[in-house]
Amino acid sequence: MTNQEKAEKDYLAGMKYKDIAVKYDVSINTVKSWKKRNGWSRGAPKKSKGVQPKKKRVHTKQEKVAPSLPSPELPESDELNDKQKAFCLYYLQRYNATWAYQKAYGRSYDTARTNGPRLLANARIKNYLAELKKQQSQDLYLDANDILKQIAKQAFADYGDYIDFGSEEVIEVDAKGMPVFDPETGDYRKYTRSFVNLKDKEEVDTSLLKKVSIGRDGVVVELMDQQKALQLLLDRLPEPEVNDESTNSLLTALNKGLQKIWSDKKNEDDKG
């Protein structure tokens, strides 16, 4: 019997995805692909739909119902109901608890503004959000270090990697486009001009560019916000240890200077 067949028996017996994944040393997504590929199904078959009168929902005039959206496929959880799971998924789209509650429950803004943050503080919701983030990370093959590396690239990007600029000597030409001869030097007359050239896009990292355009004033190249990227990195790095000799010497000199100022002032006061 293959692992897939054994896993199917475990699934039908009620074992959770994560437990199956641990047992057979595979990822949760692999277990899900086995289920989908082999048509695993547990529980009693759904009852055939009979003709039943529709129940009308009564809403107050102040309450506007958000349009229903198709329910996305979510990780299994015995602790949350479908609306709570949907709330978690919507929350990860905008990180806005009020909006997520409106989408998941179809309630008014005032109701969602109160219940959304309250639901977000629930420990089971937090655990489920953590699991969703973990699965998203696995699907994207990304982690926090990958994001920090990209921020570091933005912080230390160099304009010299994207443009070539400087000055050069160019032969002067007349109105007809012919080179102008200088009888005094016996050579063509030259002048110095500045230039800015873009490097070929195949040779540079375009992910660090915010804007490239050619307008009336020439070439415009704008990189991602380096100051913002540096601040993001600084916020996530440990405090630097200032302990080198040059810094100590500077602090000592400043301290001596302040002592001299106060000493001179005291002498002037005594004389006065």
Residue range 9-33, pLDDT digits in tens: 888 888 888 888 888 888 787 888 7
Percent of all residues in the chain with a pLDDT value above 90, rounded to a whole number? 11
Distances in Å between the Cα of 16 and the Cα atoms of 45, 65, 105, 239, 249 are 20, 34, 26, 44, 64
Q: Report the range of poorest mean pLDDT among 123-127, 147-151, 174-178.
A: 147-151
Query: What does the pLDDT read at residue 57?
Result: 53
Whole-angstrom distance, CA of residue 109 vs CA of residue 99: 8
| Nearest CA-CA partner of 100 in 119, 124, 126 | 119
Percent of all residues in the chain with a pLDDT value above 70, rounded to a whole number? 71
Query: What does the pLDDT read at residue 123?
Result: 92
| 261 or 148, greater pLDDT | 148
Answer whether 0.75 is exceeded by the pTM.
no
